[in-house]
Amino acid sequence: MRVLKIALALYIGSLALAACAPQVQTAPETAQEVSGGDTGTTGGTATGTIVSISGQPAPAVPAGVDYSFTPTTNASGSSVSFTVSNAPAWATFDPKLGKLSGVPSAGNVGTYPGILISVSDGASSSSLTAFSIQVTSGAVAGPSNPLSTATLAWDAPTSNVDGTPLLDLAGYRINYGTDAATLDHSVVINDGSATSYRVDALAPGTWYFAVQAVAATGLESAPSQVASATIS
C-alpha cells in the first residue's frame, strides 16, 4: 500500500518554528508515516455513513484582508457538492470544496449574518450551524501588521515512504486553529508546485498549524509536526 512522505519546515514570518526534514536523524519524528487506507477519490461515502460537515469560520476580517474558510467533511466521491446561503456579495464560493473566500473592501464594513454552508453526497446532506462574518475597519489585522499573518513554508515531497517516486502530487491541506488538538480551520491548496502559503486575518492569541501533502488519488500524508505562533 502506498504511503506519502512529506518534509516540512514551518515559519511564522521569518521565525523558523520547526525543522522537519525526515533525512535529519536528530529529528526524524517530524515526518510522520501512516497508511493511506481508503482515502482515494473513487466511489463515494461508505454505505450507512451519515454525511457530516464541520469547521469553525473566522468570525471577523478587516477590510482589505483576504478571508478564506473551507469546511471539513467525511463525504467522498464524484457526487459530493457544497452549497451556500446568504454569502456576502464580496465573497466567492467553490461548490466542489465548500470554500468561501474573498477580500472585502472598506465599503463592505459591517456584519453579514445567517451564512449557511451545506454538503451533499447525493444520498444525504448536512449543514454547518449558520454563522456571521464581521468586516471591520480598525487596525485589527492587515498587511501593515505582520503579526496578523502566518507564513508556512515547506519542502515539496519527491517520494513515497517506500522510496518510489511521487509522481502525482496534487497539492496540500493546511489545518490550523487555536486548539492544538482540534485544528478546525483548513485551507486546500490545489497546486502541487506550491511551497509556501500565507494565512491571513488571525485574531490575537496562539494559533497552531499542520500541513499535509495530497496526491491526485486523494491519498494524504500524515500531518506535519504542529507548529505554533502567538498573535498579539
Note down pLDDT in tens along the chain; length 232 residues: 344 444 444 433 322 222 232 222 222 233 233 233 333 333 455 556 789 999 888 888 878 878 889 999 998 888 899 999 999 999 999 999 999 999 888 889 889 999 999 999 988 999 999 999 988 875 444 444 444 777 788 778 888 878 888 888 888 888 888 999 989 888 888 888 888 888 877 888 888 998 888 888 888 888 888 888 887 7
C-alpha cell at 44: 463515494
Domain 53-136 is of which CATH architecture?
A: Sandwich (2.60)
Domain 7-38+168-192+204-231 is of which CATH architecture?
A: Sandwich (2.60)
Sequence-separated (6 or more) residues with CB below 8 Å from residue 138: 62
Contact 211, 30 (CB under 8 A): no
C-alpha cell at 220: 494524504
- Indicate where the chain has its CATH 2.60.40.10 domain(s): 53-136
* Strands 131-136 vs 60-62: parallel, antiparallel or unpaired: parallel
Contact 20, 157 (CB under 8 A): no
Helix residue ranges, H only, 28-138: none
